Amino acid sequence: MSLGLSLIPFGDTIGYPLVLISTVAHELGHGITALFLGGTLEQIVVYRTAGGVTNYSIVPGWRVAIVAAGGLIGPSVTAALCFRFARTPFGAKAIACFFALVLVWVVLFVGASNPHAVSTIDRWFAPAFMSLLAVFLVGLVLRGNETFCQFAVIFLAIQLAVSVFTRADYLFTRSVNGRPNSASDVEQIAQQLFLPYWFWGIVCGGLSIAILAYGLSPYWGRTARTSSPQKSAGPNGS
């Protein structure tokens, strides 16, 4: 279904909110990583173009590189958490509630509006979208039945997992939208550490795949146990 959206009429329109969700996960990856490293999170903005920016303050150096990497692996970490928790109805509701609280925290206490926007829609787009997403998640917790809640969380996890591959070109981009003075995340890592940006694109891509594999591993094990042939004991116990 995820890949098929691009093949049907209005598929891009239907998939647009899903792309925005992956952007939110990306920017939250930057912000939460900055907080864990002792920095200050100032703002998380998501644009209508499905781009985004996270403003933060932190000690220069290797911490900047880690924060940049945190955004790149953000969607895969979010997807892995959803896959893991969605194995049980309680876990699915717990992770949905957690992410709803994170979104509310960003909107109310961090800031998500775009002060440089030229229109009111652009200025308040991010807070509106994050609020709607939080309401949807809260609705899953309070009104959704257990099966639907698990399905919805797994569906969102799949979209985030797919975005790791469909938006992988950013892992090998030196600048944002071709602007020479706007370094991409992998270029920021290269500037703070060593080796070229494409090397760090490979590293972050590999980490994302490994994290997704970890999130999906319980399902692979369950499939293997379900499909494994059963041996029946004969009269002699063989």
Domain boundary assignment for the chain = 3-215
CB 195 within 8 A of CB 65: no
> Quick one: pLDDT band at residue 180, thresholds 50, 70, 90?
low
Over the stretch 1-29, which tens digit does the pLDDT of each residue have? 455 555 554 556 678 999 999 999 999 99
Q: Give strand pairing partners of 176.
A: 179
Nearest CA among 69, 76, 70 for reference residue 186? 69
Residue 104: C-alpha distances to residues 48, 98, 217 (Å): 19, 10, 31
Weakest-pLDDT range from 19-23, 145-149, 192-196, 233-237: 233-237
Q: pLDDT > 70: what percent of the chain? A: 86
pLDDT (0 to 100) of residue 14: 72
Indicate whether 169 pLDDT > 70: yes
Indicate whether 93 pLDDT > 50: yes
Q: Is 187 exposed, middle or buried (0-12, 13-18, 19+ CB in 10 A)?
A: buried
CA angle 21, 25, 28 (to 5 degrees): 135
User: How far is Cα 18 from Cα 12, in angstroms, rounded to an integer?
Assistant: 10
Residue 36: C-alpha distances to residues 21, 195, 232 (Å): 22, 25, 54
Phi-psi label, residue 8: left if phi above 0, alpha if psi -120 to 50, beta otherwise:
beta
pLDDT (0 to 100) of residue 233: 42
> Quick one: pLDDT band at residue 219, thresholds 50, 70, 90?
confident
Indicate whether 91 pLDDT > 60: yes
* Amino acid of residue 177: N
Over the stretch 188-207, which tens digit does the pLDDT of each residue have? 999 999 999 999 999 999 99
Weakest-pLDDT range from 17-26, 170-179, 226-235: 226-235
User: Tokens in use for 17?
Assistant: 């909110």
pLDDT (0 to 100) of residue 235: 44
User: How far is Cα 25 from Cα 142, in angstroms, rounded to an integer?
Assistant: 23
**Which whole number is the average pLDDT over 38-66?**
95
Indicate whether 236 pLDDT > 70: no
User: How far is Cα 155 from Cα 152, in angstroms, rounded to an integer?
Assistant: 5
